[in-house]
Chains A and B, each alone.
Chain A
Amino acid sequence: MKALYKIALLAVAASSLTACFNKSEPNYQYMPNMYEPVGYEPYAESAAFANGKEGQLPAKGSIPRGFTPYEYENSTAGYELAKANLKSPLAPEDIDLERGEQLFTIYCAICHGDKGDGKGNLVKREKFLGVPNYKDRDITEGSIFHVITYGLNAMGSHANQLSQEERWQVTHYVMKLRSE
């Protein structure tokens, strides 16, 4: 009986120690010496900046190494110019349709459909309508790149998801879908 009482006491003590953990809050830490960063972490908040964000915008007009600014402006005129003049900088051996397909499946197929026929999942579920079939549109590689970069009508810019090179890979894949 005495032993049982002791075991019960131990169980109560053990459960009271673990009961303090609240699942809706971060757990208790033991001596968090290097848990919190001393340096500035990319997405953290910081009182050091006026807007409280550690991701600050670069100075306007600055060009990072390895980056080429896109020269066509975000307007109908820019679109027409890109459509007419912009050509893919990728050499034939650099065109990687497999990667283009992967990127297309991730970023485009949800609306445009795996075949580019405008029958993406969201369209099938009627979340929204009006996604055109690539084959119905008069598009060139220049205009595709321009639209991925800036977006057009209901479509937003994908320039912050895809790098310039990736956008060209997707462009080539779109051209391939269109030709099929």
Chain B
Amino acid sequence: MSSHYEAPIRKPLIIGDKNYHDVTVDVAAPVEGRANKQWWIAFSIALAAFLWGVACVSYTVGTGIGTWGSNKTVGWAWDITNFVWWVGIGHAGTLISAVLLLFRQKWRMAINRSAEAMTIFSVIQAAMFPVFHMGRPWLAYWVMPIPNQFGSLWVNFNSPLLWDVFAISTYLSVSLVFWWTGLLPDFAMLRDRAITPFAKRVYSIVSFGWSGRAKDWQRFEEVSLVLAGLATPLVLSVHTIVSFDFATSVIPGWHTTILPPYFVAGAIFSGFAMVNTLLIIMRKLSNLEAYITVQHIELMNIIIMITGSIVGVAYITELFIAWYSGVEYEQYAFLNRATGPYWWSYLLMMTCNVVSPQVMWFKKIRTSIYVSFVISIVVNIGMWFERFVIIVTSLHRDYLPSSWTMFQPTFVDAGFFIGTIGFFFVLFLLYSRSFPVIAQAEVKSIMKTSSETYKKLREQGGHDNHSHSEHNHH
């Protein structure tokens, strides 16, 4: 240990006097304990919202998508808005677990588990919209290129909506495998600690007989790296493909080459905001403040600030190009966004996405948990409006003025959205009580480099870390 060199500028990632056992106990506590009243209240609310969503979706499927506010001109509205929004939120999980792993960011270790859970749960929400916004969802399996009796009639591979199918399903399955692989040592830990036979049985099954041998760990690390290497281009391509739904069209306001990176930046932006929202609550409720520290929140805020600025640059680029293009349709599309009947949504998007992340330049603000929490919610509202603005304002007024119209959502539109929020929280709340919400195996791996305890020990052992390591040269 004494030969270890770490820059003294780095602040501890595990605070408090924690040892390996403390990590285990802290992570296992929410799983092994009983749910308190607040949890049940939150769960009941989420479940009610979910059931309301189920009712609304059943009504839609049973009656038809005419129950929604979409119309002949605005064929896509809340359905795709919510789809893109949820997919975007999901992206932060993979960013945290894959990209930050590739960049060897140790601070990711305390948050990656929950971020990946968030990815999976939000991709599940997202995946419902492409199915239930179909007029005939019971024929959704036709999007798959399955050999069939229609003379083996296949799908047209030229549509980004088909690419969406592949992107989302691949994304969900890879994320799930990545997440579960990481969970194996942690499930094994819960298995080994389990007291009741039932818990023992359950965690034995889900931990796949993990015994933590050197060879297992070596391969575990390799798999994680390979999956991170695969997930990174995947995460970039998934939201790119989602953006192709719009970018490949001929609609003024949609047909833009900037959309792929801009959507991905927006996805990271909104996803990190959602991670912040969830973790700020979780660290408090599950007593994980020692692991999800203010430093973690600050770093996420910095990423929110960076991606928020990228999004802001994209907005300005779009506006500039619209002016520079000389295409009156394009110019009108942006004029309409700013001054048309949906000006308020454009204004909300601009203030929430461009202005709000800029407050993170102030250290006082980005290290404030309360402000971070508020901003994280504001960002997600803003990003919802970004998708709404892109979709609805581009559609409701385009080439032919005779087709200009307005969009008014119905309670069913809202009910479906509320239902997915409910479902998300149902899953997340269940997750937080049955899964190890922090990758304890990973956190333990940074115990000796980045925990407060060991940092102090190192200092006591002589702040001449550097000379120490020189002594050890042979």
Contacts and interface: CB of A to CB of B under 8 A. Distances in A.
Interface in A14-37: 31, 33
Interface in A128-177: none
Interface of B: 136, 138-139
Nearest to B135: A33
Contacts of A33: 136
Contacts of A31: 136, 138-139
A33 B136 CA distance: 9
B318 to A, nearest CB: 41
Contacts of B139: 31
Nearest to A33: B136
Chain A interface mostly: loop
Interface residues of A, number: 2
Q: What are the nearest 4 A-B pairs in CB distance?
A: A31-B138, A33-B136, A31-B139, A31-B136
4 contacts: A31-B136, A31-B138, A31-B139, A33-B136
Nearest to B136: A33
Contacts of B138: 31
Nearest to B138: A31
B307 to A, nearest CB: 44
Nearest to A30: B138
B246 to A, nearest CB: 30
A156 to B, nearest CB: 43
A150 to B, nearest CB: 48
A145 B272 CA distance: 89
A7 to B, nearest CB: 23
A31 B139 CA distance: 9
B108 to A, nearest CB: 42
A31 B141 CA distance: 13
A33 B139 CA distance: 11
B113 to A, nearest CB: 35
A31 B136 CA distance: 10
A63 to B, nearest CB: 44
B134 to A, nearest CB: 13
Interface string A33-59: 100000000000000000000000000
B61 to A, nearest CB: 12
Nearest to A31: B138
A33 B138 CA distance: 11
A31 B138 CA distance: 8
Interface string A60-85: 00000000000000000000000000
Interface string A87-129: 0000000000000000000000000000000000000000000
